[in-house]
Amino acid sequence: MKFFNTLTVATTAFIGNVSAFAPTTEHGIKTSLASSTVKDDLMGLAKEQNNILKYYDPLNLADANFWDEGDAATIGFLRHAEIKHGRVAMAAFVGYCVQSQGIRWPFDMQLDGAKFPASDLSPEAQWDAVDPNAKWQIFFFIGLLEVLGENMCGDLENTPHYMRGGQPGKYPDFEVFPSLYDPFGLFKKMSPELKAKRLNIEVNNGRLAMIGIFGFLAADAVPGAVPFLREYAQPYDGNIMAPFQADFSISTVFGVGS
């Protein structure tokens, strides 16, 4: 419990983070954005996201005009990217805490009876210990979701693309599966105001999680890099930015012996 209480204090200290990009909501910003007002709307929403920093874009990415698509498409792309990275970071942060506590699924990790990596390994080393085929399954599944999400957002009548006036961060529902966001239909009657508030909370939590997970990784990879986490850091001498470094090869990809 001491570990989790300390984490709570640590992550709360990062609440005043950047607030340049946020999701399109039904409250405080239009779902369909006109290019002449898109940045003004973005600045207004940034105040709702973080009333201390407000609008903060030191690299001027909102004016970068990606692929010559205009401001609305560029900002839509950046918002969508931030929200997705925030969601992944939230899952990574929770996963790191769970793995650090030695919590494992009770069943085997593989059909051949292989168990999940030992609890005495750091979360990064646990990933290195996972079978390459399992890693590829994870990456291919993520890629499949990306492809489906992009293609399903192409219908401008029903599900506008996030770069074409659609809502950044919104993943289309599958026809044969329940909603990924609300599989049990618990939030169907949520008011637009409450929905906007929850979206703002999600984005801020995602920003906080991105800082948090990289804090863990830095503390593990570089001893003393994050003094606050020195007591909890688990030394790791691998390359956190090369997920296949330990076992990557063409033979691994195609399952062919070297």
pLDDT of residue 186: 79
- Over 50: is that where the pLDDT of 21 sits? no
Which of these, 204, 214, 201, 202, lies nearest to 16 by C-alpha position?
Answer: 204
Instruction: Grade residue 166 by pLDDT with cuts at 50, 70 and 90.
Output: confident
Structural domain spans, the chain: 2-132+191-254
pLDDT of residue 89: 97
- Over 90: is that where the pLDDT of 212 sits? yes
Q: What is the DSSP string of 39-85?
A: HHHHHHHHHHH-TTT-S--TT-GGGS-GGG--HHHHHHHHHHHHHHH
Over range 236-256, report the average pLDDT.
66
> What mean pLDDT, rounded, does the chain reach?
79
* pTM for this predicted structure: 0.77
- The label of the residue with tokens 């990790």 reads 109
